[in-house]
Amino acid sequence: MIDDRKNIYKIFEKQELPERFSTEEIKDRYKLVEIITKQEEIDYNDDILTGISCCPGVVKNRVKVILSPGDDIKLNGEILVADKTDPGWVPLYPSVSGLLIERGSVLSHSAIVARELGLPTIVGIKGLTKRVKDGQIVKMDAGKGIVYLKPDKMK
């Protein structure tokens, strides 16, 4: 059974899982079914990403992409970009000017703490970690849930 679970882990580790999923029947535990959620998707253009506003504020700054505990976590006012967060990320918040998260919801622990601190935050930004590069300058309007990838080319 342990070897079976390790093999399952290897399979899932290589997959990009949907934000929400359920399993169907114990006999078919390998199959994941995405729960379709109704979320308005705004497709402005290739220079804009959208998500869910958690705490308003407008910030234009360099981003720091942190995807794992092994990444460089030295922060000095950058906008923190992550795939997902948990309560262990909260000590980083005082060192950032904004927070952009690919997954998550307004009720996640990290989002609640960000609101308590008044930290501009957007969550649920599909494709964020694939589109934003470490050191890139972006502008985030957390009140509207919009990330401008090329703020210097804006009118």
Q: Is 78 annotated in the active site?
A: no
Whether residue 124 contacts residue 51, with contact meaning beta carbons closer than 8 Å, is answered with yes
**CA neighbor of 48 nearest in space, from 119, 154, 134:** 154
Domain-wise residue ranges, the chain: 2-34, 48-153
Residue appearing with tokens 């959620």: 37
Strand residue runs (E) in the chain:
21-24, 28-34, 48-50, 52-55, 58-65, 79-82, 98-101, 121-123, 137-141, 146-148
Considering the candidates 62, 84, 109, 115, report the single residue annotated as catalytic.
109
Q: Give the pLDDT band (50/70/90) at residue 152.
A: confident
- What distance in Å separates the CA atoms of residue 132 and residue 85, rounded to the nearest whole number? 17
Classified as helix, coil or strand, 146 is strand
Residue appearing with tokens 């922060």: 75
- CA distances to 47, 84, 89, 151 from 154, rounded to whole Å, are 9, 28, 32, 5
Kindly tell me if the per-residue pLDDT of 105 is higher than 90: no
CATH superfamily of the 48-153 domain: Phosphohistidine domain (3.50.30.10)
β-bridge pairing 48-50 and 146-148: antiparallel
- Lowest model confidence (mean pLDDT) among 107-111, 119-123, 130-134: 107-111
Q: Give the pLDDT band (50/70/90) at residue 42.
A: very low
- What distance in Å separates the CA atoms of residue 6 and residue 42, rounded to the nearest whole number? 39
Q: Give the pLDDT band (50/70/90) at residue 24.
A: low
Kindly tell me if the per-residue pLDDT of 13 is higher than 90: no
Q: Give the pLDDT band (50/70/90) at residue 80.
A: very high
Residues 122-146 pLDDT 10s: 999 988 999 999 999 999 999 999 9
Residue appearing with tokens 């210097």: 152
Looking at per-residue pLDDT, the higher value among 80 and 152 belongs to 80
